Structure 1
Amino acid sequence: MSDTTTGGMRRGAALMASGTAVSRVLGLLRAQVLILAIAATGEAADAFSVANKLPNILYMLLAGGVLNAVLVPQVVRAYRRDAGQEYVDRLLSLGFAILAVVTLVLTLAAPLLVQLYTKGGDPAQVDLAVTFAYWCLPQLFFYGAYALLGQVLNARGSFGPFMWAPVVNNIVSISGFFAFILAFGGFESSGLREASAWGPSQVALLAGSATLGVIVQAVVLLPAMRRAGVHLRFRWGLRGSGLGRAGTVATWTFVGLGIGQLAFIVVSRVSWAAGHAPGVDQTVAGNAAYDPAFTVFMLPHSLVTVSLATALFTRLSQQAHDGDVDGVRASMSYGLRVVGLFTIIATAVIAVLAVPVTRVVLLSDQGSVDAVAGVVLAMIVGLPWFGAWSLSQRTYYAYEDAKGMIPIQVAMAAVVVAGTLLGQALLPPSAWVACAGASMSVSYVLGALASQWHLRRRLGTVDGPRVVRTHARALVAALVAVGVGLLTLRVLQAALSDGVVAALVECAVVGGLMSAIYVGGLRVLRVSELDGLLGPVIRRLRAGRR
């Protein structure tokens, strides 16, 4: 891979990472404000969690992965030939039409969907979840519109707007949640932790704010489309458009994602049941506890893995279309090595600081902190493997080979289901969600290893020895950082009192020290990929001094 190509991917990844960083920081603030409004555990929190996750789940099932598998490769190819814009217009027109119909049908089916992702519980809580779902499910159309427009922008080399649009979403949601607190008070004083206390005005303000944020997230991409020189027209008719191949890829992608969602249904139902098991209180980890834990898990993944993978995907699609096997191998290897450097230290830091990080995110009582911290720890150990699996998926999608992933996805889903149900059978309810998180981590290990083994048959080799050497050196540096971090954390805990301020100090000091030791260790071990990770940041800092 040439220096020019690598530099372009670094710049694209850096631009997206900056937008993602701001978005994720605001996302954490959004989660904190939401928890102040309705708590991290309890009936109302679990009800809103299920309802607000439904459009995200359905988006991933119906649009998200299909767009990754189909849209970018198709758009990259389209803009290389005559009448390319007409093809893109037909593709997007079909996408918007499908989104509109599916969103309407699924919104009307809100009661059935809530029943699918929950199990038992108080009728008032189920009714509240259904009411929330009626407000939240229309988000599906706007999530899809955001993804459709954003992927076209990415294919055109305009990466920034797609990653910065969620910032606006978070600002709108945060404003709405603050308005909720001002109007009705926080969960400690409002009495709204119980589902039976909710009325139409509370539901409209909370769920309406969440949905309005998603609407704005999609709308702000329209000016960016015009600036990128993309002028869309609605064009109907599929005959002769060449969408048959795209439809085949989309179908297999849908099948694979459906398999994953079957596993998540089991996780969701077990998580819901944990909060309703006999003898448990309102601080047992349930559906709502899963959300902040997943937010913490996704923060490092979004900052580097998603940003680099998105920038890399356009390049991979071009190389796959040109039959450049060496180029695909080099791009994938580069991504695996650079992402691995970041996810390994991110895993180490968050594992050491699981309780302080959770306290900062939740701003809640000790019982809720302990419940969510266990889930965070169970999930974060799978982060490096999740990054590798995500990059492997992009390579399959570049070759439009969604079918090749199906056996791997079946095996991963089986691991999640078996582990979650085994935990429910053998462990107390307080550990059910953490066990589900651990099962997901194990599935990522399986997915990463199996996908790399399978891709080796297509690429001849996946540059495995070089990737393993880089990860092994990173692991050595991370273990040293973990030792120092644990010792430093113990000293700080002995010197500081409990509370959010103390947790912030612990996160800043221990996290900063571990990161510095890790970077120093990589330098000593001569890990050249460190420049690929830190290069864009260093260049931006130098530019800021001029």
Structure 2
Amino acid sequence: MTGGLYRSSNAGHRDGPYDDRHAPPLIDADEARLTVPDTDTVSGGGEVPGAEPPTSTAGNSLIMAAGSLVSRGTGFLRTMVLTAALGVTIGDAYTTAQIFPGLIYDFLLGGILSSVLLPLLVRRRKADADGGQAFTQTLLSLVVIALALATVVAVLCAPLLTMLYASEQASDDYHELVTRLSYLMLPMIFFTGVSALFSAVLNTRGHFAAPMWTPILNNIIVIATGGAYLLLYGAAKIDPSQMTPGRIALIGGGTLLGVAIQAAGLIPALRKVGFRWKWRFNFRDLGLRDLAKLGAWMFFYVVANQIGLAVVFNLLNRAAAAGETGPMIYNNVYLLLMMAHGIIAVSIITALMPRMSAAAADGRFTDIAEDLSRGMRTATAALAPVAVVYGVLAAPIAVVLFQYGAFTGDDALATSIVLISAGIALIPFSVSQLFTFANYAMSENKTAALINAPVVVIRIAIHVGCFVLLEPEWVAAGLMIGNAASYLMSAVISATVLRRRIGAIGMRDVAATFLKVTVAAAGSILVGVLVMKLLPGDDTPSRIEAFLGLVVGGIAIGGTYVGLALALRIREVTQLLDMVKRRIKR
């Protein structure tokens, strides 16, 4: 995690901030080219050892891009339905309980899976006479046992988790609701881990479709759960004391069912690629000591982030206890931030990661520096108008996307305040992620972990300061600003460390682009604010007014930004426009 709360519903295939996120070197499959384990992207070329792609890389990429798009769409619909069904107070409890399985999964497997286990599965697939079948069966046996034991322990410790992440200022009914939901949702640990391992096995065998599409089953189940809740109980705003066992069983059990079906949906694909389950208990053959050494720094990275996450949740629940913005609204806004990052910045990282990895392997540090400079310039130029839209059109966005059912106009207004802060955090987050993955490209997991530790300390200090100094209604927005500051600090520290390793990274060109982008963004802000002043509606527009403002304001902001970017000759914008034109012609 990187200071946010959002947990993707796509177990084993996380969206973006995360992550957040902390799972190198596998990058989110949002666009055409991926790093491990896709083909033609390892060491600058050649197929992943042991992979048996059934179709071309372009074909795999198309399947993954389509799956990612549908997954993001259904995932966002899932969020909208749950928001409408639960409202803020119950939604805060649900969001708090839902984070528990993810954080424990991250401790056990999350970052270590893609940074250690996935590359190891690829190597054993190539080196072993049986194509890594026995090794994979042994690894799965160990992980399944570990996940089962961890799930049992976590369920028993549900009240302790509630005490840690929910504010003591919250009511006893709120604490009880979080705990009861946790009993139903903590078993997600097991199914999330199994799903992630199954996906890794499929990827190493050249099968990419099922891991991309099964998360959609998860989203559909939860959407149906939210719909059933609305049908049976309506969209009334209720207190935690009014959550009957039936309501809790439906919403908590439906969420668990979605993850279980996602994991089960991968079994036919495993059979298709020739993998068969068999219990093997010769765990010494796994080289556990070496695995522990390889995963130690990633575990340190995860632990630091989870400490920061615990602080964020506790502060948000304290604010919610005072009747102000809590975990659910903050999490919904963080989802919007991650969507923009995933669609734009991850695409850039995806394109640059194989190049930087190959350059690092060859000792071509100048090429890494050039790619970093190019990535920063392109990400900033592409994300700036999105940040402006989030800031200027925050109120219409909140109303159009979330103001349904038990989610009121006041809740939408609170969402818009946090969304403005998310607009500020968007570019620093994406740039910091680019630097983090540059470290991963050079196999500098230790460096990434050591940079992350002081950044988390700074983030916690800012978060606590915001909570102490700000009025409760501004706390959630302040926490998002604290995230932005920590992302910026992470980028500065990473740039300083990398400069010593690879030399100058073209900061003069980056600064020049940043300045031009700032001018173009400022102009689009002025036009956007003027247009919104002329249109009907205020901070709490009706749905029709909000939709009108979103369409007209978005066109005005986007058109102004592109026009100014062309006038200022921002090369990255010109290149992006040319690329879009070429794809349209195709």
Q: Report the TM-score when normalising by structure 2.
A: 0.80
Matched, 1:112 2:155: no
2:433 matched residue in structure 1: 390
The equivalent position to 2:546 in structure 1, one of 500, 503, 506, is 503
SS at match of 1:28: helix
**Amino acid in the other structure paired with 1:63:** L
Alpha-carbon distance between aligned partners in 1 of 2:200 and 2:518, rounded to the nearest angstrom: 34
Alpha-carbon distance between aligned partners in 2 of 1:316 and 1:82, rounded to the nearest angstrom: 29
**Alpha-carbon offset, residue 374 of structure 1:** 1.6
Alpha-carbon distance between aligned partners in 1 of 2:76 and 2:152, rounded to the nearest angstrom: 30
The equivalent position to 1:204 in structure 2, one of 249, 255, 259, is 249
Q: Which moved more, 1:379-388 or 1:72-81?
A: 72-81
**Alpha-carbon offset, residue 539 of structure 1:** 5.6
Alpha-carbon distance between aligned partners in 2 of 1:474 and 1:27, rounded to the nearest angstrom: 31
1:516 matched residue in structure 2: 559
2:91 matched residue in structure 1: 45
**Alpha-carbon offset, residue 466 of structure 1:** 4.3
Query: Conserved in 2, the CA contact under 8 Å of 1:10 and 1:532?
Result: no
* CA pair 155-455 structure 1, distance change in 2 beyond 3 A: farther
The equivalent position to 1:134 in structure 2, one of 183, 197, 201, is 183
Query: Conserved in 1, the CA contact under 8 Å of 2:396 and 2:541?
Result: no
Matched, 1:247 2:278: no
Q: Deviations over 1:183-214 (max 9, x none)?
A: 111124xxxx2111112211111111222222
1:368 matched residue in structure 2: 411
Q: Report the TM-score when normalising by structure 1.
A: 0.85
Alpha-carbon distance between aligned partners in 2 of 1:31 and 1:393, rounded to the nearest angstrom: 29
Alpha-carbon distance between aligned partners in 1 of 2:435 and 2:209, rounded to the nearest angstrom: 23
2:382 matched residue in structure 1: 342
Give the structure with the higher percent helix: 1
1:29-178 residue pairs with structure 2 within 5 A?
Answer: 29-39=77-87, 41-42=88-89, 44-79=90-125, 81-83=127-129, 85-86=132-133, 87=135, 90-120=138-168, 121-151=170-200, 153=202, 161-178=210-227
**Alpha-carbon offset, residue 109 of structure 1:** 1.2
**Alpha-carbon offset, residue 366 of structure 1:** 2.3
Alpha-carbon distance between aligned partners in 1 of 2:339 and 2:163, rounded to the nearest angstrom: 30
Query: Conserved in 1, the CA contact under 8 Å of 2:222 and 2:255?
Result: yes
**Alpha-carbon offset, residue 382 of structure 1:** 1.2
* CA pair 428-308 structure 1, distance change in 2 beyond 3 A: same
Q: Which moved more, 1:529-538 or 1:297-306?
A: 529-538
Query: Conserved in 1, the CA contact under 8 Å of 2:137 and 2:280?
Result: yes
2:328 matched residue in structure 1: 288
2:302 matched residue in structure 1: 257
**Alpha-carbon offset, residue 161 of structure 1:** 4.5
**Alpha-carbon offset, residue 16 of structure 1:** 4.6
Matched, 1:305 2:350: no
SS at match of 2:292: helix
**Alpha-carbon offset, residue 114 of structure 1:** 1.0
State the aligned residue count. Answer: 530
Matched, 1:215 2:263: no
**Alpha-carbon offset, residue 445 of structure 1:** 0.6
SS at match of 2:221: helix
Query: Conserved in 2, the CA contact under 8 Å of 1:70 and 1:400?
Result: no
The equivalent position to 2:394 in structure 1, one of 354, 358, 361, is 354
Alpha-carbon distance between aligned partners in 1 of 2:79 and 2:528, rounded to the nearest angstrom: 27
Alpha-carbon distance between aligned partners in 2 of 1:38 and 1:127, rounded to the nearest angstrom: 16
Query: Conserved in 1, the CA contact under 8 Å of 2:395 and 2:541?
Result: no
Query: Conserved in 2, the CA contact under 8 Å of 1:13 and 1:304?
Result: no
Query: Conserved in 2, the CA contact under 8 Å of 1:409 and 1:447?
Result: yes
* CA pair 491-257 structure 1, distance change in 2 beyond 3 A: same
SS at match of 2:132: helix
Matched, 1:425 2:468: yes
Alpha-carbon distance between aligned partners in 2 of 1:428 and 1:143, rounded to the nearest angstrom: 38
* CA pair 337-489 structure 1, distance change in 2 beyond 3 A: same
**Amino acid in the other structure paired with 1:50:** T
Matched, 1:437 2:486: no
Q: Deviations over 1:234-264 (max 9, x none)?
A: 6543545456444223221111221121122
Query: Conserved in 1, the CA contact under 8 Å of 2:388 and 2:521?
Result: yes
Q: Deviations over 1:502-543 (max 9, x none)?
A: 212222222233233333444444445447756776565445
Q: Which moved more, 1:449-458 or 1:323-332?
A: 323-332
Alpha-carbon distance between aligned partners in 1 of 2:394 and 2:554, rounded to the nearest angstrom: 11
Alpha-carbon distance between aligned partners in 2 of 1:388 and 1:67, rounded to the nearest angstrom: 24
**Alpha-carbon offset, residue 181 of structure 1:** 0.8
* CA pair 436-520 structure 1, distance change in 2 beyond 3 A: same
Query: Conserved in 2, the CA contact under 8 Å of 1:31 and 1:361?
Result: no
